[in-house]
Amino acid sequence: MDVVGQIVGFLFDPLKEIWEFPLFFAEVVVGGLLTGVLYSLIALGFVLIFKASGVFNFAQGAMVLFAALCFIAFLDRGLPAWAAFVGATLVMVVMAFAIERTVLRPLVNQAPIILFMATIGLTFVIEGLAQVVWGSDVRRLDIGIPRDPIEIVGVQINKFDIIAGITAIVLVSVLGFFFQYTRVGRALRAVADDNQAALSVGIPLKEIWVYVWSVAGFVALVTGIIWGSKLGVQFSLVLIALKALPVLILGGFTSIPGAIVGGLIIGAGEKVAEVYWGPNIGGAVEDWFAYVVALLFLMVRPQGLFGERIIERV
């Protein structure tokens, strides 16, 4: 009886707390949502590449890191921020070319699991390369985004977070437009649907892959700058790529809006769990919360919130 009481208390006491102090709860949720924006951005890079080539790109985290370090390196040379941005974008495009030529092209038509493992190898190469060139210290990144908090209906929000959120929205809208209405975007969707059919109607697969990896590199750069200015550019970013997995499961592997919504849910959910339920069971719930949520979600709806229905054929 006592044990039951304890469990009930553990599960429902925090709910009472939420009910009594809704403003604090709102602040926790908003804080979580803004971490969620960053998860979303990383997941977005994944989705882009997954849609166009069926490759699950584990290296997205490493690309974020590499892009951010590149950007810092250009800033250190005394370039203005916009020039550094263009420079880093160019580097990411060159990298897309190199990856297409050395990794993807020889592995055409291999099983997805092989390609996934190849991107793990790629992660090591990029990470090692970044460390050789720039060392392994945490780098500060400050491009002058204001950080003072403002108050909206009683909830404290950092200006920086609002700007990050707006950037993400703009990025997603532009990408959505790009995919829906441009020639390249249509070709990308065709490739995503069926590699061989796309090839047979004359879509140049190799070019498309370079495009999509370049776009993913660009998204990585934006993510890296936002994340880097918030928390510093550090090598643990590579493992953030793993957090994108549950985000994708929640949102669906092929859906751009799904990546965003999934990221927000995971970000807010793990923050709420950490703040309200975490202290009673030892804390650091954030480490696994996202994965367990994804696991439970998979049982109910394997294709995710917005993903295409999974149809199996023999």
Q: Are 143 and 225 in contact (CB under 8 A)?
A: yes
45 contributes a contact to another protein by CB under 8 A:
no
190 contributes a contact to another protein by CB under 8 A:
no
Which region among 20-28, 79-87, 118-126, 221-229 touches another protein (by CB under 8 A)?
Answer: 118-126
Phi and psi of 253, rounded to 5°? -65, -20
**SS3 state at 131:** helix
122 contributes a contact to another protein by CB under 8 A:
yes
124 contributes a contact to another protein by CB under 8 A:
yes
- 146-to-34, 84, 162 alpha-carbon distances in Å: 16, 20, 10
- 259-to-112, 185, 202, 293, 306 alpha-carbon distances in Å: 20, 18, 30, 15, 9
Residue type, 254: T
Of the residues 131, 167, 234, 280, which one makes contact with another protein according to CB under 8 A: 131
Q: Which two tokens stand for residue 58?
A: 């584990």
1 contributes a contact to another protein by CB under 8 A:
no
165 contributes a contact to another protein by CB under 8 A:
no
- Return the number of the residue (131 or 167) whose C-beta is nearest another protein: 131
Among candidates 218, 288, 249, which has minimal Cα distance to 43? 249
Which region among 17-25, 116-124, 150-158, 189-197 touches another protein (by CB under 8 A)?
Answer: 116-124
Among candidates 271, 267, 238, which has minimal Cα distance to 250? 267
284 contributes a contact to another protein by CB under 8 A:
yes
Sites of contact with another protein (CB under 8 A)? 56, 102-103, 106-107, 110, 112-114, 116-118, 120-129, 131-132, 135-136, 239, 242, 245-246, 249, 253, 281-285, 287-288, 291-292, 294-295, 298-299, 302, 312-314
